[in-house]
Amino acid sequence: MKPCHDGTGERLAEMRTVGVVGLGKMGRPIAGHLLEMGHRVVGVDLDPQAGADLEAAGMQRGAGPDDLVGTDVCLVLVEGRAVARIVLDGGAYRPALKDCLTLVCSTVEPDLMRTLHAAADVAGARLLDAPLCRGDHGARQGDLLALVGGSGTALRECEGVLQAFCSDVVHVGGPGAGQAAKLVNNMLLWSNIASVVEALQLGEALGVRRAAMVEALLPSSARSWVLETWQRPRDLPWAHEDMRMVLEASTEAGLSLPLTGLVHELIKGTRARGVLRDGGFQADGWLMPAYEDEA
């Protein structure tokens, strides 16, 4: 893992007991990596079958977030709207999390993240926002990027845990900064997706096979992560939610982002045409109609 970008290089002792809330496409492989690295893992999910295979590998099953008492680090990997229900209890910081270091790895609004940080401060608890980039493929490979907001000291405490599933960790600033950075990442990602889809559709309409077009673009000035991973199976269902958060944040900041608004509409149109069938990308790539010799 590349060093955390907080300027100190100091590492503290690695934590050994890790709670993972949410054992879905991100949480399940992350919990697996933690077990492989020798950590004790307590897994929590509403679905009692989620991550069931990890119990044979030593994962302890918790019925809910209140079963995380005694953990050193807790990773919250649930859908964004559920994050507050995990971290807060009756509007106050959840007592079961007070003595552990909690990392919100889900993507949530920066304002909500700052509210959670404020609740943690009142309770004397430790909290970091640490949303993850590179999706479920990165989770399976263990090469995620964490964008961390909050205390640099707290980040150094959990470096050993992050090493289990991240190849890159960047400390981007104070409370909420990690979520702000993730919104910027998502804004650029979906803008790139929209432009690449339209560009390849143009190439095909003009008679250039998609595979040949991608091969030609990769060494060009148009190269991008979207092109580099064109054939990678993926599941990215959150386009509309991502863009909604970006637009709301820009409104709160008093910024006009006309291109982002257009991308939001383009993404909705792309979904309607089936390119994002069922809200995600399937094993046949980005689901644009293939030429006969590429089928």
pLDDT truncated to tens, each residue of the chain (295 aa)?
A: 444 444 444 433 465 799 999 999 999 999 999 999 999 999 999 998 999 999 999 999 999 999 999 999 999 999 988 999 999 999 999 999 999 999 999 999 999 999 999 999 999 999 999 999 998 889 999 999 999 999 999 999 999 999 999 999 999 999 999 999 999 998 888 888 888 878 888 888 899 888 888 899 999 999 998 888 877 655 555 666 777 788 788 788 887 878 777 777 777 766 555 555 444 444 334 444 444 444 4
Question: CA–CA distance from 153 to each of 52, 85, 166, 174, 287 (Å)?
Answer: 34, 26, 18, 12, 45
Residue 192 to residue 62: CA distance in whole angstroms: 40
207: helix, strand or coil: coil
Strand partners, 144: 166
Catalytic sites, residue numbers: 182
CA 41/CA 62 separation, integer angstroms: 10
Q: What is the pTM of this model?
A: 0.83
Domains and CATH numbers, the chain: 17-174 (3.40.50.720), 181-294 (1.10.1040.10)
Q: Which residues contact 61 (CB under 8 A, 6 or more apart)?
A: 42, 43, 44, 48, 55
